[in-house]
């Protein structure tokens, strides 16, 4: 059983569209991270959210941490082909970090 | 952040042989982590490597199959022993930093194919 559930598992969209991916858990986390992984590379940290209800923006990416610190969402506006990759959320709790199964995003030109 | 160099980046190995993967960090860290990422899947923690003590293995992973060395605070190795095709995977080393939350930084991974 996955501690962190990510949805959707796969997402294929056209360039210019908007999308949201979700990361849900029954556990409370002290912080939550989002990573993007491209083929042949390790995951790269995008953002860390720490406070319940927190919203962070990184150019076209908007990250939100749920009020109860159990869930998070990543919204991408006007997706570009360069956004293609595997998006992973990870929750930190008691010095332990666990990863979700990931959302594999494909942005078609 | 942290810069992590991992090698080899990929290898094709015969079943029954062993492969040692090296991970070098640009600064001293207490713990280093080894993950496995099977095709199309997320990351599974294999073990945590502390300098000066034996590695701590997660459920389903054992030292005989995945021996780990941690000779100093900037370097670690993971060996995949007596390989079978089921060991074909990406292996990643990682370090964690505080930075307002626990943040992980990864090497580029080692893509292992066992034939």
A31 at interface of B, judged by CB pairs closer than 8 A:
yes
User: Chain B residue with minimal CA distance to A37?
Assistant: B108
Is the peptide bond prior to A94 cis by the omega test (within 30 degrees of 0)?
A: no
| Contact residues for B90 (Cβ-Cβ < 8 A; gap 6+) | B36, B37, B38, B109, B110, B111, B112
Q: Would the CB atoms of B101 and A44 count as touching at under 8 Å?
A: no
Give the mean pLDDT of chain A: 93
Inter-chain residue contact A99 with B43, CB threshold 8 Å: yes
- pLDDT on residue B72: 92
Comparison of pLDDT for B114 and B54, the residue scoring more: B114
Strand positions, DSSP E, A1-109: 5-7, 10-14, 19-24, 31-37, 44-49, 55-58, 61-65, 71-76, 85-93, 96-99, 103-108
Per-residue pLDDT reduced to its tens digit, B14-56 = 999 999 999 999 999 988 999 999 887 889 999 999 888 889 9
CB contact under 8 A, B109 and A30: no
Q: What is the DSSP string of B49-80?
A: EETTSPPEEPTT--TTTS-EEEEETTEEEEEE
d(CA B115, CA B98): 40
For B110, name the nearest residue in chain A, comparing CA atoms only: A40
Q: Please give the C-alpha separations between residue B29 and each of B34, B46, B54, B59, B78, in angstroms, as whole numbers.
A: 14, 18, 16, 24, 17
- What pLDDT was estimated at residue A96? 79
Confidence tier at A78 by pLDDT (50, 70, 90)? very high
The pLDDT-based confidence of A47 (bands split at 50, 70, 90) is: very high
Question: Rounded to an integer, what distance in angstroms lies between the CA atom of residue B15 and that of residue B20?
Answer: 14
Does B96 have pLDDT greater than 70?
A: yes
Does A1 score more than 70 pLDDT?
no
Q: State the pLDDT at residue A94.
A: 75
Work out the number of other CB atoms within 10 angstroms of the CB of residue A27.
Answer: 11
Chain A: nearest CA to B64, how far in angstroms? 24
- Span A71-85, average pLDDT: 96
């Amino acid at each position: 059983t996955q501690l962190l559930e990510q949805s959707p598992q796969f997402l294929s969209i056209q360039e210019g569209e908007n999308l949201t991916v979700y990361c849900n858990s029954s556990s409370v986390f002290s912080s939550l991270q989002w990573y993007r992984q491209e083929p042949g590379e390790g995951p790269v940290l995008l953002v860390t959210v720490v406070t319940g209800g927190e919203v962070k923006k990184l150019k076209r990416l908007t990250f939100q941490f749920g009020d109860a610190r159990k869930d998070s969402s990543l919204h991408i506006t006007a997706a570009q082909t360069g956004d293609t990759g595997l998006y992973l959320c990870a929750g930190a709790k008691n010095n332990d970090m666990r990863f979700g199964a990931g959302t594999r995003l494909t942005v078609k030109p | 952040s942290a810069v992590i160099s991992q090698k080899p980046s990929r290898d094709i190995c015969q079943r029954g042989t062993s492969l040692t993967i090296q991970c070098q960090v640009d600064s001293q860290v207490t713990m280093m982590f080894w993950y496995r990422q099977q095709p199309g899947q997320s990351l599974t923690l294999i073990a945590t490597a502390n300098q000066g003590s034996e590695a701590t293995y997660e459920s389903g992973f054992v030292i005989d199959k995945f021996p780990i060395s941690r000779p100093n605070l900037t370097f670690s190795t993971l060996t995949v022993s007596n390989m079978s095709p089921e060991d074909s995977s990406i292996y990643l080393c990682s370090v964690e930093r505080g930075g307002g939350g626990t943040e992980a930084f990864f090497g580029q991974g080692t893509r292992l194919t066992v034939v």
